[in-house]
Structure 1
Amino acid sequence: MSHSPWWRGAVIYQIYPRSFLDTDGDGVGDLPGIVDRLDYVASLGVDAIWISPFFKSPMADFGYDIADQRAVDPLFGTLEDFDRLLAKAHSLGLKVMIDQVFSHTSDQHEWFRESRQSHDNPKADWYVWANAREDGTPPNNWMSLFGGVAWRWEPRRCQYYLHNFLSSQPDLNFHNPDVQQATLDYVRFWLDRGVDGFRLDSINFCFHDAQLRDNPPKPADKRVGRGFSADNPYAFQYHWYNNTQPENVAFLERVRTLLDRYPGAVTLGEISSEDSLATTAEYTSGNRLHMGYSFELLVDDFSAGYIRDTVSRLEAAMTEGWPCWAVSNHDVRRAVTRWGGEHPPAQLARMLVAMVCSLRGSVCIYQGEELGLPEADVPFEALQDPYGITFWPNFKGRDGCRTPMPWTADASAGFSAGQPWLPVPDAHRALSVAAQEADPDSVLNAFRAFMAWRRTQPALVGGDIAFLETAEPVLAFVREADGTRLLAAFNLSPGDAEFVLPAGEWEVLEGHGMPGAQVEAGRARLSGYGVFYARAA
C-alpha cells in the first residue's frame, strides 16, 4: 500500500471559490480566501483539494465559460495569488487539483472572436460550425443541456455554431489537431506551475459526430438523466452523437502521455453519458484517465440496492481503472436534503461521509459536506444560476448548493465584509464552523475523527470490495487488502435495523467517530443511520 500512487483512495476536498471566503469585500470568494482557510482544510484530514474554475471569464456559467485558460480572473485574484495558494497547500501536505474545461470556451475567448469572423481565418475551423438546412433551421436536432436547441446562428459567417451548454459556451472542434495541441499546451502551462492534477469537466463532450447525425428520440418512460430534469427537452433524446464519440479515446491517451512526464500528476474525468458507468470503465482503462467521476450517486435514489448495484456494475466493467465517488458537488442538491428531506438529522450526514469514504475508490467531498449542510432554499429574486432561472419553478437550479461557506454565525456567516453573492440561510449559520468546532459531538468533529481513523485502515483506502446480500435498509460489504478483511455496514434509514454477520469471527472496531451498533449472537443492530465496522479475526 505504501507504494500506491497518492491519489488511490485519496479524499479530495472540492472548493467552489466563489463561495469559500471573500477577502476583498466584493461578496465573492477569492484565491486569497482559500489561502487563509487552507489550515482548516488540512485539519479535516483530507489528501487534496480540487478548485473549481478561477480563470478569466465573463461568468455567464460562473467560470465554466473560460475566456483565457492561462489567466486568473481579477474577481478571484492573480496568478501570484495562485502560486501562494499552491505553495501553502504543498507545505501543509495537500495536493492541488484544478478544473479544466476542454470541450468549450466562452464566446469572449480570443479564439472564438477570431473564428466567428470568416470562413478562412486561422481559427475558422477551431469551433463546430455548420450550414443551415435549406429552410434555415439548425443542421440537426441536437439539444442544449441548459434548454433549447444546441445551435446558435452567427450572421458574420452565415452559419450555426454548436453549444452543448449555454449559447455563450461554443463547442471547440476537437477533430482539428490544432485544437488538441492548444489544449495540451495550456494543460502543460499549469503542470509547469506545479499543480498535482486536473478535474476534467464534461470530458466526454470533446468530440461530436462529424456527420452531424440526428440523435434518436427517447421514450417518455426513459427520460431520466444525471444532472438534468425530465421536463428538460435534453432528456427527450438518446445522446449518441453530440458527445462520447470514439475519437475521444485517442485524445485522452495524448493527455495521459503528457501527464506521465510529470510524476504524480493525475486526471479525474467527469463523465455523463447515456451509460456513464460503461464510459467511465472505458475512459480509465489502459493509458487514459487515472480516475473517472460520474453522477451515479448524485441522484435521488437512496437505497442499499441502488448503491450496491451501481458500484457492482462499475466494478465488473472497470477491470483496469480506478473509480472516484461523490454524493455531493456544486451541480446537485446537497446529499442530506436529497436523501433526508427538509430537516435532515445530523446522524445522516455522519453516516454518508463514512459510507462514501468506505467504497473502493477515491472520494470527492464538497465544501460544507463536513458540516452536514442542507440545501439552501434560494428565492427566485436572488437566483444567479441561468439554468435555474430558465427552468424555475420545476427545477430551481444549482444555487441552493452553492451558497457561501458558513464560518461563523453572524449575518454574513464570516464569509464576506460585503453583501454575499448568494444569501446565507439561517440553518447554515447555525451549523457554522465556529459553532461545530466548539461542539465535541458535531458533524465536523465526527468527520475529522473518521478521516484520522480511515488513514489507519489500509483495506478502506485501497482494498478490494465484495458486497453482501442484505435486506433494505442495510448496505454491507467487505474490503480486503494484504490479508486483512474489514466488514463495513450502514443503516440507510432513521430507524433501527439488523443484519446477520458473515460466518467467522469478527472483532468490532471502534474509534471511527460514527454512530455505532450493538452485536449479539452473530447479529448487529444498527441505530438510525448507524455505522458498523469489524475486522476478521
Structure 2
Amino acid sequence: MAEWWRGGVIYQVYPRSFQDSNGDGVGDLPGIIRRLDHIASLGVDCIWLSPITQSPQADMGYDVSDYREVDRLFGSLHDFDSLVAQAHARGIKVIMDQVVSHTSDLHPWFEESRLNRTNAKADWYVWADPLKDGSPPNNWPAVFGGRAWEWNPTRGQYYLHNFLASQPDLNFHNQDVQQAVLDVMRFWLERGIDGFRLDTVNYYFHDKKLRSNPPNKLQEHLPYAVNPYDMQEHKFSKSQPENLDFLRRVRKLLNEYPGTTSVGEVGDSHKSVQLMAEYTSGGDTLHMCYGFDFLGPDFTAAHFRTRIEQFFKAGPDGWPCWSFSNHDVPRHLTRWAPHSQSLSNLGRQTAALLLSLKGSVCLYQGEELGLTETDLLFEELTDPRGIRFWPEDKGRDGCRTPIPWEAGEPPNGFTTGTPWLPIKAEQAALNVAAQNADGASMLAFYRQILVWRRAHPVLCDGDIAFYKTGEPVLAFRRLGDGETMLAVFNLSGEAREVAVTGLPNGTEPEPISQSAVLARKSLALGPNGYAFFALPADAPAVKVSYKP
C-alpha cells in the first residue's frame, strides 16, 4: 500500500472554532460534517481533529476525563463515526489527537490513584515525597506557570503536572499505563480512525531519579523570561531515552492497521530537530514528527535551511511534518508581517514555501483564508496561559477564533448563538463566501497551488538540496526520478536580483510563481517574490547565487 502520509497534506481542524451546528456558540462534529466539502475543495489528504474526547475543558480538551467517549459539547460517538465515513467517502483520511502524557484530574484513573498509596492505580501517576522542609522534590516548573508539583494531602505526596495542576502526568515507567494507553488507541483504530497526532510526545517519560533541571544557558544573559519555564534546560523532566521503546510499541500497534499513521508533537527548544529525527528514524517508531522551529518568529533563509539540513543529517530515513501555524502559536502572517509590505504577498509566498519543502505538511484551519491573529481584550480570553501571563504573553486564543464563513456581521455563519470567542472585523472581512466568489483570493490560490503540487510528485517525495545564498534569498532544488524543481524565494519586502545560470533555453518560471521575471542570467524577484522552475531530471547543473 502506498504511504499516503509521506508528502501528504494534513488540514488541522480545531473543532471548537470550525462550525457550530446547535447554536451553543461552540463548534462540533455535525458542524465539521456540514463543512467537509470546503475541506475537500482544497485537495488535502487528511484531517487532524484537535481533542474531541470527554473533558472538563480546563485546557480546551487537552485534559481528558474519558478517552473512549466524545464530549457532549462536540456530539456523540455516532457523530464521530459519521464524520469518518463521510470524510472517507470524499477521499479524505482522518486522524485525531491522543493526549496521553497526562489526563484530567477528573479521570477515574487519577481519582483512584489519589486515594492512597496502595490502590491498584497508586503508581499510574508520578507521585513523590516532599523534601524535609516540605517543598517539592525538585525544581521542575510547569509550562503554564508555577511549580510542576501539586500537593495531595490524602497521600501526603506531590504529583507531577507539566501543564495545569488539573492535568496530572501519567507514569509511563509503569507498564500497565503503557498498555492502557495502547488499548485506548486500539479502541479508536477499531472505529476506523486513520491514525493519531500525539500531543506532547516527548513528555511521556520523566527522569526516575527526579533530578533537578539545569539553567537554560541561552537565557542566562537576558534579564528575565516572561515564563520561568523558559529559564531551564528541561534535561530531566522530559525527552527521556525510554520514550523510544514506547514509540516502538505504538508503531507496532499501528502496523496492525495498514494505512494508518502517526505524527508526534515535539516540544523541546534545545533539541527539537534532533528528537524529530530520532523519533521517526528506522521505520519502527513514529511515521512523522513536527517541532516548533517554524512556529516562531524566525523568518530567514539560514533558519529554514539549517533546520531542514539538520533534520535529514540526524535522521536520513526520518520524516518531518512541517507547519507554519497551529492552535498553539500566533498565526504566521502576524508573526512574519515585519518581513513584508503586503500580507497578501506574504501569504502566497509562505504557502508556496511550506508546500515545497521536503516532508509532509500541516495546514491550520483559516490559513487558506489568510487569517491573521485576532486581537483580543483581556476579558475575552479563555486560555489559562494567556490569562496568567497577560499582557506580555496573550496566550493562544488569538489563533483559535472561529472561522468566518459568511459575509456581514459576526458571527458570520459560524453559529446562530454567541461564539465562544469573538469574530472581529479584520477576520470577518476574509470570510469564505467572499473568497469563494473571487478567483484571485487567497482561498483560490491555496486550491491552485495544492493542485499544482500534486502535478509535481517531486515536491511530495523528492530529495532537497540547498544553495548557499546570502540573506534574504532562500534557494533549493527538489530532486526526483523524473524531474527537478528549482525554487527561489525572496524573504523580504524589497525587490532583489538573483543570479541564476545554467537553465535550459526557453525555461520560464512556473505559473504559480509570484513577482518573478527571468532575464538572461538574472532573476528579478519582487517583494516576497518567488519562482519555481520545473526541469528534466537530466538537466545541466543550475547555479543560483545572491550576495547582499
Cα drift, residue 505 of structure 1: 1.9
Task: Report the counterpart of residue 322 of structure 1 in structure 2.
Answer: 319
Task: Report the counterpart of residue 293 of structure 1 in structure 2.
Answer: 290
User: What is the rounded CA distance, in whole Å, between the counterparts of 2:435 and 2:129 in structure 1?
Assistant: 58
Read off the aligned partner of 1:314 and give its amino acid letter. F
Task: Report the counterpart of residue 229 of structure 2 in structure 1.
Answer: 234
Conserved? CA contact 1:353–1:447, under 8 Å: yes
Conserved? CA contact 1:16–1:367, under 8 Å: yes
Task: Report the counterpart of residue 494 of structure 2 in structure 1.
Answer: 495
Q: Which is further off, 499-508 or 487-496?
A: 499-508
Deviation per residue, 1:440-475 (Å, 9 max, x gap): 111110110000111000111110000111222221
Are 2:352 and 1:354 aligned?
yes
Conserved? CA contact 1:337–1:343, under 8 Å: no
Deviation per residue, 1:221-240 (Å, 9 max, x gap): 3689xxxx932110111101
Deviation per residue, 1:72-115 (Å, 9 max, x gap): 00000000000010000000000101000121000010000000
Task: Report the counterpart of residue 432 of structure 2 in structure 1.
Answer: 433
Cα drift, residue 372 of structure 1: 0.6
Task: Report the counterpart of residue 248 of structure 2 in structure 1.
Answer: 253
- Percent sequence identity over matched residues? 55
CA spacing shift, 1:382–1:223, aligned 2, 3 Å: farther
CA spacing shift, 1:372–1:239, aligned 2, 3 Å: same
1:528 is paired with a residue whose SS is strand
Task: Report the counterpart of residue 271 of structure 1 in structure 2.
Answer: 266
Read off the aligned partner of 2:262 and give its amino acid letter. T
User: What is the rounded CA distance, in whole Å, between the counterparts of 1:131 and 1:83 in structure 2?
Assistant: 44
User: What is the rounded CA distance, in whole Å, between the counterparts of 1:390 and 1:147 in structure 2?
Assistant: 8
1:145 is paired with a residue whose SS is coil
Conserved? CA contact 1:337–1:344, under 8 Å: no
Read off the aligned partner of 1:285 and give its amino acid letter. S
User: What is the rounded CA distance, in whole Å, between the counterparts of 1:50 and 1:370 in structure 2?
Assistant: 16
Deviation per residue, 1:180-209 (Å, 9 max, x gap): 000000000011111111100000100100
Deviation per residue, 1:326-354 (Å, 9 max, x gap): 00000000000000149852111111111
Task: Report the counterpart of residue 520 of structure 1 in structure 2.
Answer: 519
Q: Which is further off, 334-343 or 194-203?
A: 334-343
1:102 to 100, 103, 127: 100
User: What is the rounded CA distance, in whole Å, between the counterparts of 1:436 and 1:321 in structure 2?
Assistant: 38
1:452 is paired with a residue whose SS is helix
Deviation per residue, 1:152-185 (Å, 9 max, x gap): 0011111000000111000000010000000000
Conserved? CA contact 1:453–1:511, under 8 Å: no
2:527 is paired with a residue whose SS is coil
Q: How many residues align structurally? A: 530
2:248 is paired with a residue whose SS is helix
Task: Report the counterpart of residue 284 of structure 1 in structure 2.
Answer: 280
Read off the aligned partner of 2:271 and give its amino acid letter. D
- The aligned runs of 1:355-374 (5 Å cut-off) are 355-374=353-372
Cα drift, residue 500 of structure 1: 1.7
Task: Report the counterpart of residue 243 of structure 1 in structure 2.
Answer: 238
User: What is the rounded CA distance, in whole Å, between the counterparts of 1:23 and 1:453 in structure 2?
Assistant: 34
Read off the aligned partner of 1:457 and give its amino acid letter. H
Conserved? CA contact 1:223–1:236, under 8 Å: no
User: What is the rounded CA distance, in whole Å, between the counterparts of 1:127 and 1:236 in structure 2?
Assistant: 26
Task: Report the counterpart of residue 545 of structure 2 in structure 1.
Answer: none
Task: Report the counterpart of residue 531 of structure 2 in structure 1.
Answer: 532
Conserved? CA contact 1:223–1:230, under 8 Å: no
2:392 to 391, 394, 397: 394
Task: Report the counterpart of residue 197 of structure 1 in structure 2.
Answer: 195
What TM-score comes out, normalization by structure 2 length? 0.95
Conserved? CA contact 2:341–2:527, under 8 Å: no
Cα drift, residue 218 of structure 1: 1.9
Conserved? CA contact 1:249–1:288, under 8 Å: yes
User: What is the rounded CA distance, in whole Å, between the counterparts of 2:439 and 2:43 in structure 1?
Assistant: 17
Read off the aligned partner of 2:129 and give its amino acid letter. N
What TM-score comes out, normalization by structure 1 length? 0.97
Task: Report the counterpart of residue 508 of structure 2 in structure 1.
Answer: 508
1:500 is paired with a residue whose SS is strand
Deviation per residue, 1:227-268 (Å, 9 max, x gap): xx9321101111010101111110000110000010011010
Task: Report the counterpart of residue 135 of structure 1 in structure 2.
Answer: 133
Conserved? CA contact 1:152–1:162, under 8 Å: yes
Are 2:380 and 1:382 aligned?
yes
Unaligned runs of 5+ in 2: 540-548
Unaligned runs of 5+ in 1: none
1:235 is paired with a residue whose SS is helix
Conserved? CA contact 2:13–2:48, under 8 Å: yes
User: What is the rounded CA distance, in whole Å, between the counterparts of 1:130 and 1:264 in structure 2?
Assistant: 41
Task: Report the counterpart of residue 407 of structure 2 in structure 1.
Answer: 409
Conserved? CA contact 2:200–2:264, under 8 Å: yes
Conserved? CA contact 2:25–2:415, under 8 Å: yes
Q: Which is further off, 82-91 or 483-492?
A: 483-492
User: What is the rounded CA distance, in whole Å, between the counterparts of 2:308 and 2:501 in structure 1?
Assistant: 20
